[in-house]
Amino acid sequence: MADVEELKRLAGIEACKFVKSGMKVGLGTGSTVKHTVIELGRRMAEEGLEIVGVPTSLATEKLATEVGIPLVVLSEINGLDIVIDGADEYDSKFQLIKGGGAALLREKIVAQESSAMVVVADDRKKVSTLGAFPLPIEVTPFSHEATVRTLSRLLDCRVNIRMAGDGPVITDNGNMIADAHTGPTISDPESTESDILLIAGVVQVGLFNNMCDAVVLAGSNGVETVINPNGRL
């Protein structure tokens, strides 16, 4: 396990090579990308890197502040140069499942506002077909039981509200997370995303389609960077 954690740390640091002075940077959420945030703070303190950041969660906001990254409000700037974030799964077409950390709504808003997206992951996240990782779907608390039933019928699988102890996980936006246990069956993630978003109680779904430009991958042979040939980098 220590080896896996060290590789994740190295991958998080490697992703920082895409960041240059003057950039506006989306700061992702998760156990791997936290190393990116820490490294960016180090480069600012020791190497004179000049950036501003937009965090995708309250946890990342706290970490970025601790390491000295100045933060700005997304609505007050004209887009971002890059976002570096994690993923729970990605396929050969660089389509993603995200939301294991319950930050998918803010993550997708930041990703859509970014000119490029770099994902930091370990090789366990690479799959031939998305869905082995339960698909996170952010839903409104209002009549969430009805939303879960509709999702279950649509996706033909078990859907449950994510729990933390005796109560549901509540996102930074005050919503809940429904996890859809589709299994590795999401062969057309774009149409799946569209269908799910038609349900009124759904706020957002953790399918990040046509957004990822590169994956910095930690694996048994070390760290490698895979560039999306159809991407923006």
> Tens of pLDDT along 57-97?
999 999 999 999 999 999 999 999 999 999 999 999 999 99
Q: What is the mean pLDDT of residues 206-226?
A: 94
- Entry pTM: 0.95
CA distance 167 to 144: 14
pLDDT at 54 over 80: yes
Q: What is the mean pLDDT of residues 197-224?
A: 95
pLDDT at 56 over 90: yes
Q: Which numeric CATH code is attached to 2-126+209-221? A: 3.40.50.1360
Positions annotated as catalytic residues are 107
Say how many CA atoms lie within 13 Å of 232 toward its Cβ.
Answer: 12
pLDDT at 2 over 80: no
| The two three-digit tokens of residue 224, written as one number | 């490698």
Domain boundaries along the sequence of the chain? 2-126+209-221, 135-205
Helix, strand, coil distribution of the chain in percent, nearest 5: 35, 30, 40
pLDDT at 1 over 80: no
pLDDT at 104: 97
Q: Is residue 173 within 8 Å of 138, Cβ to Cβ?
A: yes
C-alpha torsion angle, residues 46, 79, 192, 136 (rounded to 10): 40
Q: Is residue 181 within 8 Å of 159, Cβ to Cβ?
A: yes
**Strand 176-181 vs strand 158-161: parallel, antiparallel, or unpaired?**
antiparallel
pLDDT at 222: 87
Least confident of 2-6, 76-80, 193-197: 2-6
pLDDT at 208 over 90: yes
Q: Which residues pair with 176 in a beta bridge?
A: 139, 170
Q: What is the mean pLDDT of residues 47-52?
A: 98
What is the per-residue pLDDT across 32-41, written as a single tens digit (0 to 9) for each? 899 999 999 9
| The two three-digit tokens of residue 191, written as one number | 């149409």
CA distance 186 to 191: 9
CA distance 45 to 152: 49
Q: What is the mean pLDDT of residues 25-34?
A: 93
pLDDT at 19: 98
What mean pLDDT value characterizes the chain?
96
Name the CATH topology of 135-205.
Alpha-Beta Plaits (3.30.70)
What is the per-residue pLDDT across 105-116, written as a single tens digit (0 to 9) for each? 999 999 999 999
